[in-house]
Amino acid sequence: MNKRLTLLIIVSLFILSLSAFAQDAEEVTKAPYLEDFAKAKELAVAGSKPIIIDFYTDWCGWCKKFDKEQMTTAQAIDYFTNEVVMVKINAEVDTALAREYGVIGYPTFVLTSSSGDEIDRTSYLPIDEFITTMSDYQKGIGTLQAVLDDANKSEDRALYFELADKYKYRNDSENANLWFGKIIANTEKDSLSGEASMAIADLLRRQDKDDEAMAAYKSIVSDYAGTEFEGRGLLYVGHMHRWGKDFEDAMKTYNGIMEKYGGLKFAEEAEIYIAIAYRDKGDTALAITAYANFVKNWPESEDVGYANKQVRKLRGE
């Protein structure tokens, strides 16, 4: 055999072995988890441990961020190895389990007893805060029941918001609206009532009640005119049109935001969404132009990398 060819084969095998070793090392340095909920419950019962269900989707950026940045830390490896049983569930595959736990956002981490009864839940957190939060939940600190007990004895609207938000992310719209309503009722339009109004609209949107959500966002625009909530409401009016494939009204709304808030953050967001709307509409040429204009007009934006990537993708590069 040609010596040069032999050397090439040896080098190739060495590189492949290094690649396999790197993959093994990556697996070793990631916190352990299961992908079978029934098996997780068996192990939890046997080890007298609680369960953490990580509901994720393949497209969820914060889910990937947690896996990459938090699950690889020494703290996470120790915690998920010794303290709890971790199970990852793709919410778009095991839709029945996601519905059972009322999951409406991702990632959602549900802490349960070994038998699967919910204690409480959270979303993305840095691992130290994540472990502290879950440990507190196990002690009954900060759980829905604990916050409800405090709220029933208080007139603290911030506490009402914390409770309403917990109900919201359990997809319990009745109780969420009850406590968000307590924040809004009989008060002047302030930041907390604005956040409560946005949360109510968001819950309607997540439940696919599009007409009600659109009406709620339009009410925010008029009720909170001259505040940041007007701008946030307008953006969501545009989004609702775009998600409903009403691209003409979406463009009209986004362009109106650019005119109203020229040079401000809301205008920046509106301009990137104009490009996204053209892309969603299937108008490749105008989408490329809109993304390029965004990069030119907002060179310091954190979305410049995303815009450039979309241009390359649309050009087939």
Considering the domain architecture, whether residues 106 and 188 belong to the same structural domain is answered as no
**pLDDT given at position 29:** 80
Residue 6 lies in a domain: no
- Taking the alpha carbons at both ends of the chain, their separation in whole angstroms is 40
> Which of 184-188, 190-194, 243-247 has the lowest average pLDDT?
184-188
The residue written with tokens 């492949």 in the block is 16
How crowded is the C-beta side of 216, counted as CA atoms within 13 Å?
Answer: 20
CA distance linking residue 137 with residue 148, whole number of Å: 14
Residue 222 lies in a domain: yes
Mean pLDDT of the chain: 91
Rounded-to-integer distance, Cα 52 and Cα 50, Å: 7
Q: Are residues 255 and 179 in the same domain?
A: yes
Same domain, 217 and 274: yes
- Which phi and psi angles does 258 have, rounded to 5°? -60, -40
* Domain tally, the chain: 2
Question: Is residue 292 packed enough to be buried (19+ CB in 10 Å), middle (13-18) or exposed (0-12)?
Answer: middle
Residue that is last in its domain, among 88, 109, 138 = 138
Q: Residue type for 66, please?
A: F
Shared-domain flag, residues 131 and 248: no
Residue where one domain finishes, among candidates 138, 163, 193 = 138
CB atoms within 10 A of CB 22: 10
Full residue range of the structural domain in which residue 282 is found? 150-315
* Predicted confidence (pLDDT) at residue 1 exceeds the cutoff of 90: no
272 and 134 share a domain?
no
Q: Tell me the pLDDT band of 182, cut-offs 50, 70 and 90.
A: very high
pLDDT surpassing 70 at residue 9: no
**Same-domain pairing of 108 and 159:** no
- The tens digit of pLDDT for each residue in 277-314 reads 999 999 999 999 999 999 999 999 999 999 999 999 99
Residue after which a domain boundary falls, among 89, 112, 138: 138
Q: pLDDT per residue over 16-29, tens digit each?
A: 443 443 444 444 48
* Amino acid code (one letter) for 189: K
Please tell me whether residues 89 and 175 are part of one structural domain. no
User: 126 φ, ψ to 5°?
Assistant: -55, 150
**Are both 175 and 87 inside the same structural domain?**
no
134 and 44 in a common domain: yes
3-state secondary structure of 248: helix
Q: Both 295 and 155 in a single domain?
A: yes
Residues 169 and 296 in one domain: yes
Q: Cβ distance 272 to 288 under 8 Å?
A: no
What CATH number corresponds to the domain at position 132? Answer: 3.40.30.10
Question: Is the predicted pLDDT of residue 230 greater than 80, yes or no?
Answer: yes
Q: Is 7 contained in some domain?
A: no
pLDDT over threshold 90, residue 163: yes
- The CATH number assigned to the domain holding 274 equals 1.25.40.10
Residue whose token pair is 């995303």: 306
- Cα–Cα dist 85/61, whole Å: 23
Within a domain: 4: no
Residue for token pair 């009532």: 193
On whether both 155 and 62 belong to a single domain, the answer is no
Average pLDDT over residues 88-116: 96
Distance, in Å, from the CA atom of 75 to the CA atom of 31, rounded to the nearest integer, reads 9
Chain position carrying tokens 């396999």: 20
